[in-house]
C-alpha cells in the first residue's frame, strides 16, 4: 500500500520504517530539512536498537523515502499517518498546532479519497478537530473551484501508538494489540477496510486489532499510560514506606505480582518515571478532565508522588553525606530516562545532578549512549559554571575515581554485573546508592559494600 507518514520523530520514523519493512511503499515527510538530509544520507536522528538497519534496508529497496515536499507527500499515500509532536502547553494540555497544520496541508493538496490516521497521542475529540480543519481547507478550495472539490471524501481514524522507547522496532513488529477507532460513515467504513488490509500481517495467528469508535481509541492510549504510571507511583510510595518500616519492596513485588489480578510488570520501584509519554500524558488527561469540570484525584497524586520520587536519590545522598556536599565528588551511572535510549526528557538524572551540583558537589557521569544528549539538556538545566562541574567519562569505571559513592540512576545492562572489586578500589569508600535495585543487598554486604537501594532497608539496616 502507498503510505505517507507526517513527522519523522520517534513514532513517525519507527512506524514508517516498519511499515516499509512489511512491503509498503512509504513516504516520510518532515518540515526539518536537516533531519531529512540526515535520513537521506543514511543517518538516524535517534538511538533506537535495530532501527538503523530497517531504515537502510528499506531505503535501498526503494520502499522508504524522506522528503520535505508537502504536495508530493499528500499525493503519495491514500493513508496519511499524522505522527507529529504534541508537546505539553503551559497548562499541561497537549498542543495540537502541528497535528492541525498537518490536517490543513492534506486538505490543501488532496485530490481523492484519503484516510487520515492519528498516530500522535492526542486528546479525546482531536479526530473531530482534524476533520474540521481539513474540511475548512477543502471548502476554501471548493469556493475557488466552484464546488468541484466538495465531493472529496476522507475519514479520520485513531490508531494510537504503544511503542516503548528502546524496544520500538520489536514492539511494532510484535504488537500486543493494535487499537483502531473508526466511525460508521461510508468514508469511515472504507477506511476500516484499508486499515484491516494494512494490519493483516499482524493478524495471521490471532486477531490483534481492537476495533472501536474514534473517541474510545483516543481515550485508550491515555488510559493505558495513566494506569502504568499509577502502578509505578504506587510502588514508589510503598517502597518509601518499606524503607521506614523495614520491609523489602522486592520481596513485596514478587509477593503481589504472583496474583494474576495484579501481574508482575510495571511494579518496579525506582527513581521515578520519566520520558516523553508518562509525564505528558498524565498531565494531559488531568487537563482534559478539568475541561469537563472533573478532577482526576488519583492522577494528581501519581504526578506528585513521581515528582517527589525523582528526588529520592538526592535525599539518600543527603541522608548519608549531609546537606553540604562541598568538596565531595560523586559518580553517577546512567543518564537516560531508561535503558536503550538516549532520551533525556524528564529523566530523573536531571533532578539528581542539579541537586548534587547545587549542594556543592562535583560529579563524574557515564551513560552508554546518552552523554551527548545529556550535555545538551543539562546546559538548559544548569549554568555554564555548574555544568563545568560535571565530567563525562567514557567508561563506567572511569567515573568512580575518588568519588564518595556511586549513584545508579538508569538500569543499563552494562551496569548489572560490574567488577565490584574494581568499584571498591576506585571509590573513596565502598558506597552504592542504587536507584534501580540492580543488586541483591546480602551480596553487597558480603562484598563489604555499603548498599542503599529503594525500599530495601530491611536487608541493609540503613
- Which 356-385 residues touch ligand UDX, going by CB under 6 A? none
CB of 342 to ligand UDX, least distance (A): 12
For residue 204, how far is the Cα from the chain centroid?
Answer: 29
Q: Contacts with ligand UDX: how many residues (CB under 6 A)?
A: 19
CB of 281 to ligand UDX, least distance (A): 7
**Cβ closest to ligand UDX, residue 82 vs residue 138:** 82
DSSP characters for 429-444? S-EEEETT--S-HHHH
CB of 8 to ligand UDX, least distance (A): 17
**What residues form DSSP beta bridges with 156?**
116
**Cβ closest to ligand UDX, residue 312 vs residue 405:** 312
**Cβ closest to ligand UDX, residue 99 vs residue 138:** 99
Is residue 225 near ligand UDX by the rule CB under 6 A? yes
User: Which one among 27, 199, 202, 268 touches ligand UDX, defined by CB under 6 A?
Assistant: 268
- Which 312-341 residues touch ligand UDX, going by CB under 6 A? 337-338
**What residues form DSSP beta bridges with 212?**
181
User: What would the x/- binding string for ligand UDX be over residues 47 to 66, using CB under 6 A?
Assistant: --------------------
- Select the span of 40-48, 110-118, 272-280, 382-390 touching ligand UDX (CB under 6 A): 272-280
**Cβ closest to ligand UDX, residue 255 vs residue 360:** 255
**Cβ closest to ligand UDX, residue 165 vs residue 373:** 165
Is residue 264 near ligand UDX by the rule CB under 6 A? no
Options 232, 238, 277, 313, the catalytic residue: 277
Is residue 163 near ligand UDX by the rule CB under 6 A? yes
Is residue 165 near ligand UDX by the rule CB under 6 A? yes
| H-only helix segments in 322-370 | 348-358
SS3 185: coil
Is residue 275 near ligand UDX by the rule CB under 6 A? yes
Is residue 118 near ligand UDX by the rule CB under 6 A? no
- Select the span of 56-64, 224-232, 349-357, 423-431 touching ligand UDX (CB under 6 A): 224-232
Is residue 273 near ligand UDX by the rule CB under 6 A? yes
**Cβ closest to ligand UDX, residue 155 vs residue 232:** 232
Is residue 342 near ligand UDX by the rule CB under 6 A? no
Is residue 270 near ligand UDX by the rule CB under 6 A? yes
Structure-block grid coordinates of residue 14: 519507527
Is residue 164 near ligand UDX by the rule CB under 6 A? yes
Structure-block grid coordinates of residue 193: 477496510
Is residue 439 near ligand UDX by the rule CB under 6 A? no
CB of 259 to ligand UDX, least distance (A): 16
Assign 3-class secondary structure to the chain.
CEEEEECCCHHHHHHHHHHHHCCCEEEEECCCHHHHHHHHCCCCCCCCCCHHHHHHHHHHCCCEEEECCHHHHHHHCCEEEECCCCCECCCCCECCHHHHHHHHHHHHHCCCCEEEEECCCCCCCHHHHHHHHHHHHHHHHHHHCCCCCCCCCEEEEECCCCCCCCCHHHHHHCCCCEEEECCCCHHHHHHHHHHHHHHHHHHCCCCCEEEECHHHHHHHHHHHHHHHHHHHHHHHHHHHHHHHHCCCHHHHHHHHHCCCCCCCCCCCCCCCCCCCCHHHHHHHHHHHHHHCCCCCHHHHHHHHHHHHHCCHHHHHHHHHHCCCCCCCEEEEECCCCCCCCCCCCCCHHHHHHHHHHHCCCEEEEECCCCHHHHHHHHHHHCCHHHHCCEEECCCCHHHCCCCCEEEECCCCHHHCCCCHHHHHHHCCCCEEEECCCCCCHHHHHHCCCEEECCCCHHHHCC
**Cβ closest to ligand UDX, residue 105 vs residue 349:** 349
Is residue 277 flagged as an active site residue? yes
Whether the Cβ atoms of residue 438 and residue 270 lie closer than 8 Å to each other: no
Is residue 415 near ligand UDX by the rule CB under 6 A? no
**Cβ closest to ligand UDX, residue 137 vs residue 161:** 161
- Select the span of 21-29, 32-40, 162-170, 352-360 touching ligand UDX (CB under 6 A): 162-170
- Select the span of 140-148, 268-276, 419-427, 451-459 touching ligand UDX (CB under 6 A): 268-276
- The span from the CA of 404 to the CA of 327, in Å, is 10
**Cβ closest to ligand UDX, residue 274 vs residue 455:** 274
Q: Which residue has the cell 524522506?
A: 66
Is residue 286 near ligand UDX by the rule CB under 6 A? no
Kindly list the residues in this chain that would bind ligand UDX in the complex (CB under 6 A).
161-165, 225, 228, 232, 266-268, 270, 273-275, 277-278, 337-338
Catalytic positions are 277
Amino acid at each position: 500500500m502507498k503510505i505517507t507518514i507526517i513527522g519523522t520523530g520517534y513514532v513517525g520514523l519507527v512506524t514508517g520504517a516498519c511499515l516499509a519493512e512489511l512491503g509498503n511503499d512509504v513516504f516520510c515527510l518532515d518540515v526539518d530539512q536537516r533531519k531529512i538530509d540526515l535520513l537521506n544520507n543514511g543517518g538516524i536522528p535517534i538511538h533506537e536498537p535495530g532501527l538503523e538497519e530497517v531504515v537502510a534496508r528499506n531505503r535501498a529497496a526503494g520502499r522508504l523515502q524522506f522528503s520535505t515536499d508537502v504536495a508530493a507527500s499528500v499525493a503519495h499515500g491514500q493513508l496519511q499517518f499524522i505522527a507529529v509532536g504534541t508537546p505539553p502547553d503551559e497548562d499541561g494540555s497537549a498542543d495540537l498546532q502541528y497535528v492541525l497544520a498537518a490536517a490543513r496541508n492534506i486538505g490543501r493538496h488532496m485530490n481523492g479519497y484519503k484516510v487520515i490516521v492519528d498516530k500522535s497521542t492526542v486528546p479525546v475529540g482531536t479526530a473531530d478537530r482534524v476533520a474540521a480543519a481539513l474540511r475548512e481547507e477543502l471548502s476554501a478550495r471548493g469556493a475557488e473551484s466552484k464546488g468541484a472539490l466538495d465531493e472529496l471524501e476522507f475519514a479520520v481514524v485513531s490508531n494510537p501508538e504503544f511503542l516503548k522507547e528502546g524496544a520500538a522496532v520489536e514492539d511494532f513488529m510484535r504488537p500486543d494489540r493494535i487499537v483502531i477507532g473508526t466511525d460508521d460513515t461510508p468514508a469511515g467504513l472504507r477506511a476500516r477496510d484499508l486499515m484491516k488490509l494494512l494490519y493483516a500481517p499482524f493478524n495471521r495467528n490471532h486477531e490483534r486489532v481492537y476495533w472501536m469508535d474514534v473517541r474510545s481509541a483516543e481515550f485508550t492510549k491515555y488510559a493505558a499510560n495513566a494506569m502504568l504510571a499509577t502502578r509505578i507511583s504506587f510502588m514508589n510510595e510503598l517502597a518509601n514506606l518499606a524503607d521506614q518500616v523495614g520491609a523489602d519492596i522486592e520481596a513485596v513485588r514478587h509477593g503481589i505480582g504472583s496474583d494474576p489480578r495484579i501481574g508482575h510488570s510495571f511494579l518496579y520501584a525506582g527513581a521515578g518515571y520519566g520520558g516523553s509519554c508518562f509525564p505528558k500524558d498524565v498531565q494531559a488527561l488531568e487537563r482534559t478532565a478539568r475541561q469537563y469540570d472533573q478532577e482526576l484525584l488519583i492522577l494528581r497524586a501519581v504526578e506528585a508522588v513521581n515528582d517527589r520520587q525523582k528526588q529520592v536519590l538526592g535525599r539518600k545522598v543527603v541522608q548519608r553525606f549531609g546537606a553540604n556536599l562541598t568538596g565531595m565528588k560523586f559518580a553517577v551511572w546512567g543518564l537516560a530516562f531508561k535503558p536503550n535510549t538516549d532520551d533525556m526528557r524528564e529523566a530523573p538524572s536531571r533532578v539528581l545532578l542539579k541537586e548534587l551540583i547545587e549542594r556543592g558537589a562535583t560529579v563524574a557521569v557515564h551513560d552508554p549512549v546518552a552523554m551527548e544528549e545529556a550535555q545538551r539538556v543539562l546546559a538548559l538545566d544548569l549554568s555554564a559554571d555548574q555544568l563545568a562541574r560535571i565530567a563525562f567519562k567514557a567508561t563506567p569505571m572511569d567515573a568512580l575515581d575518588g568519588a564518595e559513592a556511586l549513584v545508579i540512576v538508569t538500569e543499563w545492562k552494562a551496569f548489572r554485573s560490574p567488577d565490584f572489586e574494581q568499584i571498591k578500589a576506585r571509590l573513596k569508600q565502598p558506597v552504592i546508592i542504587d536507584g534501580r535495585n540492580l543488586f541483591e543487598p546480602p551480596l553487597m554486604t558480603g562484598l563489604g559494600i555499603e548498599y542503599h537501594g529503594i525500599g530495601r532497608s530491611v536487608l541493609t539496616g540503613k
